Structure 1
Amino acid sequence: MAIFDDEPKKKARPHEIGQDLSLLSVGELTERIGILRDEITRLENELKAKDSTKSAAEALFRRE
């Protein structure tokens, strides 16, 4: 039984903007690209949802 088994493990950040990439392997870089692409898709979907809500609100208040 190891002494340090009960210590909580720190969750590594998958990517930090501006981080030094020179020490990462090709696999790690590929994984991070996938993570960032997924995040971009998530952000774009949220932007579309907010734009739809904004357009609906503008249409409602433009009624004359």
Structure 2
Amino acid sequence: MSRAVLQLWGWPLAIFLVSATGLASALVADGWGDAWSWFALAVPVAVSGWCAWPRRPRQQSTERR
């Protein structure tokens, strides 16, 4: 893959892979698979919440360094 494609699609692809393994684990596994599916399916929710969280703009410093 080219560097530009990986920079653009790297994180969405990683989130997809974690979510897909979580869905498959929830359907077929038991025990540790349940724990993995909970974690894996919480990752997209946590990432979405982090991205949607409002942030304050940075204060411009008047001092020179």
TM-score (norm 1): 0.38
TM-score by length of 2: 0.38
